[in-house]
Structure 1
Amino acid sequence: MKTVAMVLFPQFLLLDMAGPMEVFSIANRYLPPEQHYELITLGTDHGQLRASNGVSVTADLHIDQADGHYDLLLVPGGPQAYNDNPALLLEWLKGAVTRAGQYGSICTGAFVLGFAGLLDGYRVTTHWHYTERLIKAFPGTHVETDQIFVHDRNLITSGGVTAGIDLALSVVAADHGKKVAQDVAKVLLVVMKRQGGQAQFSPLMASVGPQETPVTRVQNHMLEHLEQAFSIDSMASLASMSPRHFARVFAREVNMTPMEFLQGARIDRARSLLETSELPLKTVAYKSGFGSVRHMRFLFNEKLGLTPAQYREQFS
């Protein structure tokens, strides 16, 4: 029997807890009793803990009482995960992971592990909306921005919310084989392996700054004329700069190259058209500036892991 413990704190995300725990619970239906998962919740507060959606949960044990071995110790996300982590929780985690076979996080729970100093030197991920914040907060960590979950040695982390289900299914598959994990996935009406990664949910284009600068003027011009051809020379001309100087200034202000911004903007425009219209793929490609369906398909596969047709089917 393996023990899975979930650490709960005020304002934790309920689905981050319930999704993975449900996977392990359903897996028990397909396993002999001696191979069942034992599920335990550990709370930072005595009594009830209110989740971010207002639902109250009472943990099985307070962390002061939790000094045993856990095969898997998980931390969910939530507003407190990246805003206010009590020293008591962080100190407890440092000792608890030494008694755990594996430890990990769901969604923004990665920040809790980071503040406890448990991410340095590891490959990790979190919800796409918070990857840049995680990168800046913990420079000693390699953040995978497009993965649904990442397993690195004894640490396993997942992207946002429902990605905790993917994480748990991968653990079940590793423990008991793919067939058991597939059976659990069928009960939950989810797939064992998603098409594409988190990039299909997040915008690829960097936001345009609110203040007018030569760079933001070029960005806005590109967004208004995506169907036109652009080069570094033509962009630099719009900014009244030399190509080399423009490329340096753009990269410094936007944290990506001009061509990366343009490519991301075109993919995002195509995604919007695929989600909200029934335009033929050829028209979508033209209006987004790809020039051909073939080029659009290549970039969709490269950046999103989906073809335009698959994207439309999944998101429209």
Structure 2
Amino acid sequence: MKIQYPIKVAVIAYDGANAVDIFGPLQVFASANEMYKRMHSENFDIYEIKLFSLTQLQIKLHTGTSVLTDGVLDDLVQYQADTIMISGGEVALSLADQPEVISQLLPIMDQARRVSSVCSGAFILAATGLMENRQATTHWGRYEEFSTRFPSVKLNIDALFTKDDKYYCSAGVTSGIDLSLYLIQEDYGHRIALETSREMVAFYHRPGGQNQFSSIKTTVSASSDAIVLAQNWIDKNLNKVLMVSQLAELVAMSVRNFSRKFTLEIGLPPSRYITKARFNKARLLLEENNTSIQRIAYLCGYENSESFRRLFKRELNISPSEYRKRFHI
């Protein structure tokens, strides 16, 4: 598809959509228009930005705010947008199951040069079948459901946004801003995207991936007294060497029977539970106090502070000290 200027950007919204998923990208492209004029002493927009809804002009967002859109899907067909952005929201999961919505979107996506989603908008995009065997991402809280519903889509669980051919997905809420800046960079180069990010006081390239923002999941409580005992022992002795054989002996079980029963009740094998418990405790300590990195490594049972830093960065794509700067209470 030949690029025509100004580049037409269409954001698709619906009742219950997340406000930031919509207005974050809209503001990025609007700011790019202003920055381009300022930098080049021009008086025209480089982006034409419109908001479309599915069936009715007025929609009510998740915030409870009523918004009047520029048109509905029938109008979007005529608009011939260069770039499509599908906003996210809880409702997107049910919209992805509505064949009439998906069938209306397919020709629109086919004619667009770029198609993208923000947050759970990825469910709608994936439901079209266009993401088969392609890279995608969505909000970290939706990983399991997305993978179950779309097993042939290659879900990148830490990316802030992904690109595969003409299809783009952003992870969640504010990452729609990250993706929009990237699209501007593709269209007009590094400098205009960088200056737009500065104008918005936003990261041009946000450090780390989205897993750093995921919640510290509480572990499942066991149902039997034996596994509860083992679970409590692990949680209270993370600074020690924890062997599955020792845990089995603690509860008077064979290693095989203990591992089977533990996995059945907790949902994780003992070794993976220990790894997760250590990592969760380390994140909590980084968030809640000023204990040194070396001390945290010891308290959580890591070999040394260097191995802790290495494992932490591999998991969240940022160092423990960077994590503390962002999330310390």
TM over 0.5: yes
Superposition deviation, residue 136 in structure 1: 0.6
Query: What does residue 95 of structure 1 align with?
Result: 107
Query: What does residue 166 of structure 1 align with?
Result: 178
After superposition, where does 1:111-122 map in structure 2 within 5 Å?
111-122=123-134
Inter-partner Cα distance in structure 2 for 1:270 and 1:43: 44
Amino acid at match of 2:7: K
User: Is 1:77 equivalent to 2:88 in the alignment?
Assistant: yes
Amino acid at match of 1:282: Q
Superposition deviation, residue 115 in structure 1: 2.5
After superposition, where does 1:41-190 map in structure 2 within 5 Å?
41-68=51-78, 69-85=80-96, 86-190=98-202
Query: What does residue 39 of structure 2 align with?
Result: none
Change (3 A) 1:254 1:112: farther
Structure with higher Rg: it is 2
Change (3 A) 1:84 1:99: closer
Q: Which runs of 4+ in 1 moved over 4 A?
A: 32-35, 203-206, 213-217, 245-257
Superposition deviation, residue 218 in structure 1: 3.7
Query: What does residue 30 of structure 1 align with?
Result: 35
Inter-partner Cα distance in structure 1 for 2:55 and 2:215: 37
Inter-partner Cα distance in structure 1 for 2:31 and 2:105: 27
Query: What does residue 17 of structure 1 align with?
Result: 22
Amino acid at match of 2:285: L
Q: Secondary structure at the match of 1:270?
A: helix
Change (3 A) 1:206 1:108: same
**Stretch of structure 1 that moved more, 184-193 or 79-88:** 79-88
Query: What does residue 6 of structure 1 align with?
Result: 11
Query: What does residue 285 of structure 1 align with?
Result: 297
| 8 Å contact kept, 1:232–1:258 | yes
Structure 2 alignment gaps of length 5 or more = 1-5, 37-41
| 8 Å contact kept, 2:9–2:50 | yes
**Stretch of structure 1 that moved more, 47-56 or 260-269:** 260-269
User: Is 1:198 equivalent to 2:203 in the alignment?
Assistant: no
Superposition deviation, residue 302 in structure 1: 1.1
Superposition deviation, residue 181 in structure 1: 1.0
Amino acid at match of 2:57: G
Amino acid at match of 2:236: E
| 8 Å contact kept, 1:195–1:306 | yes
Query: What does residue 279 of structure 2 align with?
Result: 267
Inter-partner Cα distance in structure 2 for 1:81 and 1:75: 9
Superposition deviation, residue 191 in structure 1: 1.3
Query: What does residue 241 of structure 1 align with?
Result: 254
CA distances 1:168-216 after superposition (whole Å, capped 9, x unpaired): 1111111111111111111111111122111111246673156338666
**Stretch of structure 1 that moved more, 109-118 or 151-160:** 109-118
| 8 Å contact kept, 2:88–2:118 | yes
Change (3 A) 1:248 1:182: farther
Inter-partner Cα distance in structure 1 for 2:162 and 2:307: 30
Amino acid at match of 1:79: E
Superposition deviation, residue 24 in structure 1: 1.0
| 8 Å contact kept, 2:222–2:266 | no
Amino acid at match of 1:30: M
Structure 1 alignment gaps of length 5 or more = none
Instruction: Report the identity percentage.
Output: 28
| 8 Å contact kept, 1:19–1:165 | yes
Inter-partner Cα distance in structure 1 for 2:228 and 2:168: 39
